[in-house]
Amino acid sequence: MSSGAIVLTRDEATKRRFIAEAPKANLIHYAGHTRTEGNGPAALLLATESGNEGALDAGEIARLRLPATDLVVIAACSSGRGETRQMEGVPSLARAFMIAGAPTVVATLWDIDDELTSPLFMTFQRALAAGATPARALQQAQIAALHSSDPTKRQPSTWGGIVVVGTTREEAR
């Protein structure tokens, strides 16, 4: 983790703080819970504070401006999934971050188990820190999961729904 990292945990991870800090971040890694469409718009579920329930929905995310953000990682259930509509693409939390300006998002296509995927995301972050692109870092993390001594972590159903959406700014040039 870089020395300039801002880590918001538990009661600090409010909607207000997220909205204030996100535009300054070159990497956003959200590890938490989401609300999927059907119970209202898809949303990140953050800590509650006076005046709000803590849900930061896809529309609010899309209205953020993230000029410094190169990568968003949404380590939460179904963050890349949305209901298919008469529009281009799938409306999802991943898409909302891309609309806000993040060129690359790591998201999930189905519900994930925190305990099983946490080591994968840690391996992913180490690979990123070593200079790998998001796609290569995810590939390395998934290969490491395949070679895990824990048979549950080796199952593609554990890690196969974690995907990279978009491209890096360098790849886009």
**Residue 91: per-residue pLDDT:** 67
By C-alpha distance, which of 101, 21, 105 is closest to 65? 101
| Domain housing 76 | 10-113+161-167
56 domain-assigned: yes
DSSP conformational letter for 76: S
**Per-residue pLDDT tens digits for 112-156:** 999 999 999 999 999 999 999 999 999 999 999 999 898 888 898
Q: Does some domain include residue 4? A: no
**Sorting pLDDT into bands at 50, 70 and 90, what band is 83?**
low
* pLDDT at site 167: 81
142 occurs within a structural domain: no
Q: What is the pLDDT of residue 1?
A: 42
Q: How many independent structural domains does the chain possess?
A: 1
